[in-house]
Chains A and B, each alone.
Chain A
Amino acid sequence: MALAHGTSNQNRLPLVWRRRLRLALLVACLLAGLALAAMARYREDDTYRYWAVGYQALAPLIEPTQAWSHRWVLTIGKLDSLWEAEADNMRLRRELTRARLELDLLGEQLGRLERLSGMGTWSAPPGLQFLPADVTGVLTGDDGMLLVINRGRADGIRLRDPVVALDGLVGIVRATSEFSSQVQAITDSMSVVGAATIDTRARGAIYGRGRNQPLEFLPENEAVQFELGSSLISSGFDNSSFPKGLTIGTITDRDFNLYGIPVGLVRSAVQFETLEEVLVILPEARMRGLDLPSTTTLGLFTISMPNTFFEDQPASPTLALGDEGSSPALALLDGSSSPPLALLDGATSPMLAADDATTTTTEAAR
């Protein structure tokens, strides 16, 4: 077996000599190592000279490999940077998408806040209370429109409660459930609202004529002329479901009804297609637990609208209430025979001015 490996036992050194040879070689190597270390320590110049010879022999092998591996390392480093950039890119895209979504939500909330702030500064007169509600649905037909709001009997809403928006009168509650209600819009063909023109105080009734149709103003006295462009407000008689002073719309044209009586065609002040928030007008006593109906007392109240609906109207004040010197808002009464109506004159903030006017005119009405 050993012969098969080419070793001849006769030619081999004895075991003892082999051990001595190995030990001698070990000692020689260790001494050589010590000598090399001592030489590197104490004869540095000579060491570097001899070392350079050895390095020159290895350099053709080592240096190209170093350069090659360095290139690969740089390439891998660039790929790693690209990977990180891609990860950053994806993260930034996610953040951008999230930020856009938040921006949309914030814009939506801001719009809602602006609308609600307009309503919030529009305070109800003493004895009444505004209950904000969201329009959650619309039921339309040829005859008119029903709005679904997210307030119901649990919130104190009862049948025939009037509903307004920032622009004017919306309608009246026709059906209630525990947590929602249906509001009959004034454009509905079943709707009738007592109204009066602002400028001539001509009283009459406004009838709904169905969806996408103008309202119809039928004067109480056919002989009374009304002008195109006249603004109409709720007249607020004792038996009316609507308080006095709610903006209804503007007369845009003249026409004749089925009986040949001259009527005015009225454009509603409220854009029903874009309506999102409304206010339900409730008797304050109902919020204290008294289950009062709406019809008996609401006509006695006067509410001033917070919009600038009357700004272009030429008013001739006959009586001024309030402190003219200190308040920029001045409540004016127009027409001594008719119920008082609050007008704004020179108000920098119509909403706040409307608050002042509301209080003043309600006191005057009482």
Chain B
Amino acid sequence: MIRMLLLAIAYLIPALLLEVAILPQAQLLLPDDSQTLLQPRLLALGAILIGLLRGELPGMLMGLAGALLAGFALRPDRLGATVIGFVLVGYLAGQLARHFILTGWLFRAFVIFFLLLVERLAFNATMWFFWRNVELSLPWSTLIWTALAGTMLYRLLLRIKRPLYMMEAEEELALGRSSS
């Protein structure tokens, strides 16, 4: 539990600084049509990765923490929509990890991309529901390269943490032994 907490903090703070403070400044170096490349969804990616590794509850908590950080660091009107999007994908990531064994980088990249897309859709839907005049376009290139980065991060995290299906199998095995 403590290791998980430390891992979450170690991820959230650099991700927050990168997403909120550093990369928006670095966008000034790029031409206008390429600036969306430096708007990654790193905090949402954290919720997805933890959800894929540890299940719905850690994923949702990570998403909630990331959403609060992002919401308080950016604009107040986005806080609610961010919470909805991040918590939702954290939960969905845990559900996917229970039903699928994520093997192969392409499948992992697709799953992460799908969850990032869901997060954007949930965020846009919430914003549209309350404000109507919001930009509903999706940053496809940003989602793709964030998904690829998430795939590599997931592979690194697998060296530290066992995936969810292995933990469940161990639990089942332990339950079976104790009952017998």
Chain A residues at the B interface, C-beta cutoff of 8 Å: 1-3, 7, 9, 21-22, 25-26, 29-30, 32-41, 47-48, 50-51, 54-55, 57-58, 61-63, 65-66, 69-70, 72-73, 76-77, 80
Contact A47 B77 (CB under 8 A): yes
A2, A55, A76: the one contacting B73 at CB < 8 Å is A55
Q: Who on chain A is nearest to B26 by CB?
A: A73
For the complex formed, measure the closest distance between the CB of A137 and the CB atoms of chain B, giving whole angstroms.
61
CB contact between B178 and one of A9, A55, A73 (< 8 Å): that residue: A9
Number of A-B contacts (CB under 8 A): 123
* B15-57 interface (Cβ within 8 A of A): 16-17, 20-22, 25-26, 28-29, 56-57
- Which range holds the interface residue count of chain B? 35 or more
Residues 40-95 (chain B) with a chain A CB within 8 angstroms: 56-57, 60, 63-64, 67-69, 71-73, 76-84, 87-88, 91, 94
Closest 7 CB pairs of A and B: A37-B80, A36-B80, A54-B72, A33-B84, A51-B76, A33-B83, A2-B174
Residues 159 to 180 of chain B near chain A (Cβ within 8 Å) = 170-171, 173-175, 178
Task: Note all chain B residues with C-beta closer than 8 A to A36.
Answer: 71, 79-80, 83
With a cutoff of 8 Å between Cβ atoms, the chain A residues found around residue B171 in the complex are 2, 7, 9
- Alpha-carbon separation in the docked complex, A63 to B17 (Å): 10
CB of A33 within 8 A of CB of B80, answer yes
B101 at the interface (CB under 8 A from A): no
Beyond A29-B83, A39-B80, 14 extra complex contacts between A and B, CB < 8 Å:
A1-B173, A22-B94, A25-B57, A29-B87, A30-B88, A36-B79, A47-B76, A51-B71, A54-B72, A58-B72, A62-B20, A62-B73, A73-B25, A73-B26
| Chain B minimum-CB-distance residue to A72 | B25
